[in-house]
Amino acid sequence: MHTVRRLLTAVLSLLVGQTFLSGRLQAAEVEQWGIFEVTLKGPADGNPFVDVELSATFTQGKTQVRAAGFYDGDGTYRVRFMPEAQGEWAYTTASNRAELNGKSGTFTVGKPGPGNRGPVRVRNTYHFAYADGTPHVSVGTTCYAWTHQGDALEEQTLATLKAAPFNKLRMCVFPKWYAFNRTEPPRYPFAGTPPNKWDLERFNPDFFRHLEKRVGQLRDLGIEADVILFHPYDDGHWGFDRMPPAADDRYLRYVVARLAAYRNVWWSLANEFDFMEKTDADWGRFLKIVHEADPHKHLLSIHNGTRLYNQTDPRLTHASVQNGSAVADFGRAVLYRDVYRKPIVFDEVKYEGDFEQRWGNLSAEEMVHRFWQGAIAGTYVGHGETYKHKDDLVWWSRGGVLRGKSPDRLAFLRKVLEAGPADGLEPIDKWQDERTAGKRGEFYLVYLGKDKPTEWAVDLPGKSDKPLTLKAEVLDTWNMTVKPVPGSFTLKQKGGYRLVADPPATIPLPGNPYMAIRLRAEAPKK
DSSP character string of 374-429:
HHHTT-EEEE-EE---TT---HHHH-S---SSHHHHHHHHHHHHHTS-TT--EEEE
Q: Tell me how far apart the alpha carbons of residues 398 and 178 are, in angstroms, rounded to a whole number.
A: 11
Q: Tell me how far apart the alpha carbons of residues 17 and 84 are, in angstroms, rounded to a whole number.
A: 18
Closest CA to 298 of 248, 231, 224, 348: 224
Identify any residues that bridge with 24 across adjacent strands, giving them in sequence order: 21, 104
Residues with Cβ < 8 Å from 383, sequence gap 6 or more? 139, 140, 141, 142, 166, 351, 352, 367, 371, 406, 407, 410
- pLDDT for residue 282: 98
- pLDDT for residue 5: 42
H-run or E-run covering 89: strand 87-95
**Using an 8 Å Cβ cutoff, are 353 and 334 in contact?**
no
CB atoms within 10 A of CB 422: 13
Residues with Cβ < 8 Å from 120, sequence gap 6 or more? 128, 129, 130, 131, 136, 224, 264, 266, 299
Residue 106's Cβ-count burial label (10 Å; 0-12, 13-18, 19+) is middle
**Using an 8 Å Cβ cutoff, are 332 and 357 in contact?**
no
* Bridge pairing between strands 515-521 and 498-501: unpaired
Q: Where are the domains of the chain?
A: 2-110, 140-316+391-418, 435-521
pLDDT in tens, the chain (526 residues): 444 444 443 334 434 434 343 345 455 799 999 999 999 999 999 999 999 999 999 999 999 999 999 999 999 999 999 999 999 999 999 999 999 999 999 999 999 999 999 999 999 999 999 999 999 999 999 999 999 999 999 999 999 999 999 999 999 999 999 989 899 999 999 999 999 999 999 999 999 999 999 999 999 999 999 999 999 999 999 999 999 999 999 999 999 999 999 999 999 999 999 999 999 999 999 999 999 999 999 999 999 999 999 999 999 999 999 999 999 999 999 999 999 999 999 999 999 999 999 999 999 999 999 999 999 999 999 999 999 999 999 999 999 999 999 999 999 999 999 999 999 999 999 999 999 999 999 999 999 999 999 999 999 999 898 999 999 999 999 999 999 999 999 999 999 899 999 999 999 999 999 999 999 997 655 5
Q: What's the length of the chain? A: 526
Query: What end-to-end distance do the CA atoms of the chain give, in Å?
Result: 69
Query: Hey, what CATH topology would domain 140-316+391-418 get?
Result: TIM Barrel (3.20.20)
- pLDDT for residue 187: 98
CATH superfamily label, 2-110:
Immunoglobulins (2.60.40.10)
Q: pTM value? A: 0.94
- pLDDT for residue 522: 78
Q: Tell me how far apart the alpha carbons of residues 65 and 300 are, in angstroms, rounded to a whole number.
A: 19
CATH number of 435-521: 2.60.40.3950
Residue 217's Cβ-count burial label (10 Å; 0-12, 13-18, 19+) is middle
Q: What is the DSSP letter of 353?
A: E
Domains 2-110 and 140-316+391-418 fall in the same CATH topology: no
